[in-house]
Every structure is written in structure tokens, then in C-alpha cells.
Amino acid sequence: MTLSSAEGRWLAELQRGIPLCARPFEALARELDCAEADLIDFVGRCREAGLVRRFGAVFDTRRLGYRSVLCAAAVPQDALDDAAAKITPFLGVTHCYLREASEAAEAPFPNLWFTLSYPADVFDAMADEIRTRLAPFAVSFLPATRRYKVDVVFGAGTRAREERTEDDTAPLGARDRAAVAALQGDTEVRPDYFAALAERAGMKEWDLLSTLELWQRRGRLKRIGLLLAHRTAGYVANGMCCWRVEGDTTGAGRALAARDEVTHCYERPLSEGFPYNLFAMVHATSPEAAHAQHADLHRVIVAELGHEPDTVMLLSTKEYKKTSMTFFTSCAKPFWGV
């Protein structure tokens, strides 16, 4: 699907999120100098072209009462597919990749990387189950200790937005959970977007909108918008760039977060199997372009720190699973399988 310059801007703004109002596409269309119907039709065409993973809400899992960590294990090549098959049926495993360093890397690194998200009261039990399933391969659990940027917008400059990792929001009640259930997954794009979702949640439209505005101010709701299928869109090289930064990572993390090519940037704890604590994600149209981006980012880090820290980039070479989190599932085995 070839986009005009105007459609490229539409795609970027739809990823950033729609406004919280009764006619969100009409309001966004005014900003973009187009018609409401044009935007809605554009989303439909993007869906037909396979450019859309889903259109819906993006929540902060921690502020819904969940814990979420990045996990890694070093698995022999001949055991990778079997190991991935043991964990991808878990609902709490939403992303799972084979990530590999370049052949020039001096040390072996974990190659099976996945995310793990579960309600806080069952997280430890589920983490233990993951350890058991992957034994004898050790699993490193790498929670975010600083969040410098979480803003996946392809095809346009992204915003550096530092976030706290602690959560001080009140637990969700039944009404709040109904709102989350209505907004998660792939939702219908229509002029009265929030009215339809409010009806599904058993709420009045004004009540849903006021709830979402509060959640957005408190960080529980990140945005409601289009999530791009980045590989279909041409971003086939997903690189995890990592550095070992001694002491405070603030300066280096903020410098990385200011770069448009960085979609995520976190501080994570050092682990025995992976001694890096500053992570930045890039998405490029080729492995060569991703390596060039890593080199540019490394120069940024060197300039910020005044010395050259150890660094590595791991490229995703196989995707075992990529899906959005489903919160508060009501299936018979809510935490085990799909």
C-alpha cells in the first residue's frame, strides 16, 4: 500500500492516538485538514492491506494491577523451537522472539526473548511455571527500573516521555474492568466510536470519556489508536540496542529517548547472563539500516558519557509470537493457555 504524504501524516497521527471526545475522528480530521469519512475509510484500507495489528486502547499494565517483565534465556539452536512452543501458549507471554547478535560478537548471549505479564497476585507463581517449562535453561527476569520512552509511532518523529515505574493508582473495580474489556483488542472504527464502546461496557458515553480522561492523566491509559503491523509496513529489522552504563543512566537514557528512531528506551537490571542495563529499540527497513542506527546511537552515548561503554545489538530473526495483552480474561484457564 503506497501512501501519499497526507496519508503518511494520517497514519502517524492515528498511531499517536485519537482525542477523547464524542466524535474523535471528526476532531482529528479538523487537525489534519481532511474529512472524518476519509480518516475512517483510510483505517479500513490499512486493515485490508494488513498494515494494522489492531485499533484500540494501549494500557499501562502495571496500573491495571499487573506485573510485566522482559525475560531471556540462552537456548541451543536445535532446542529453540521446542522451548518457544512450551511458553507461547501462555496468555501472559505476548511477545516471543529469537534475537541474535552479529557474528562479530565476542560472547554468547541469551537468544530466546519474551515478555511475561500477569496479575501481581499470581505473577510469581507463573514465573516459576515458566522456569520449570524452560528447564534446564536458566531464565533471566529483567523488569524496567526506569522508563525513558514508550512511544511506538512509525513513520514520524516520536516523543520522549519519561515515566515512573512505581504505581500509585487505585485498584480497578467491576465497572473499570468492564471499560477495559470494551476497549482492549481490535475495536470498530466508526464516527460515534466511544458511544458504541460505552454501550458495550454498560456505561453512559460521558461516563466512559471522563473515566478515560482520568486514566490518561494518571498514566493508566497510554492512548487509543492504531497499532501498526510494522513488518508489513516494511520495518523488517527489529533491533534491541543495549549498553552497560556504570552508575546513573539518566543522561544516557534521556539522550537515547530524544532520538526519533528509538521507539522504546528502558533501564533494566544487570544480569549474570546479560550484563547490560540500558535498552533502546529500533525498527529499520533492513538489518544493515538497523546496524547503522545502532552505530549512530552509540555515538550519542559516547558523547553523553565521555567514554565508550560496552554495547551490543540483538536483531530479531524469528517471531514466535506477537499479540496484545488480554486483561481480566474470563476463560476457564485464565492464566495458562489460549
Q: What is the pLDDT of residue 158?
A: 47
CA distance 204 to 264: 35
Q: What is the pLDDT of residue 55?
A: 96
Query: Is residue 87 in some structural domain?
Result: yes
Whether 262 shows a pLDDT value over 50: the answer reads yes
The domain of 82 spans 64-162+231-322
Q: What is the pLDDT of residue 203?
A: 96
28 class by beta-carbon count within 10 Å (0-12 exposed, 13-18 middle, 19+ buried): buried
Lowest mean pLDDT of 50-54, 153-157, 235-239, 298-302, name the range.
153-157
Among 265, 298, 310, 245, smallest CA distance to 107 is for 310
Strands 262-267, 278-284: pairing is antiparallel
In this structure, the number of other CB atoms found within 10 A of the CB of residue 33 comes to: 8
Query: Is residue 197 in some structural domain?
Result: no
User: Could you give the number of structural domains in the chain?
Assistant: 1
Query: Is residue 99 in some structural domain?
Result: yes
In this structure, the number of other CB atoms found within 10 A of the CB of residue 335 comes to: 16
Query: Is residue 191 in some structural domain?
Result: no
Among 59, 64, 31, 19, smallest CA distance to 213 is for 19
Query: Is residue 158 in some structural domain?
Result: yes
Q: What is the average pLDDT score of the chain? A: 90
Whether 160 shows a pLDDT value over 50: the answer reads no
- pTM, two decimals, is 0.86
Query: Is residue 318 in some structural domain?
Result: yes
Query: Is residue 19 in some structural domain?
Result: no
Residue 169 — pLDDT band, cuts 50, 70, 90? low
- More reliable by pLDDT, 27 or 272: 27
Query: Is residue 198 in some structural domain?
Result: no
Whether 156 shows a pLDDT value over 60: the answer reads no
Q: What is the CATH number for 298?
A: 3.30.70.3460
Residue 159 — pLDDT band, cuts 50, 70, 90? very low
> pLDDT tens digits for 278-296?
999 999 989 999 999 999 9
Q: Are 312 and 109 in contact (CB under 8 A)?
A: yes
Q: What is the pLDDT of residue 161?
A: 52
Q: What is the pLDDT of residue 83?
A: 97
**Mean pLDDT value across residues 236-254:** 95
Whether 334 shows a pLDDT value over 50: the answer reads no
Residue 212, H or E segment: helix 205-218
Q: What is the pLDDT of residue 336?
A: 52
**Cα distances (angstroms) measured from residue 284 to each of 289, 309, 323:** 6, 23, 20
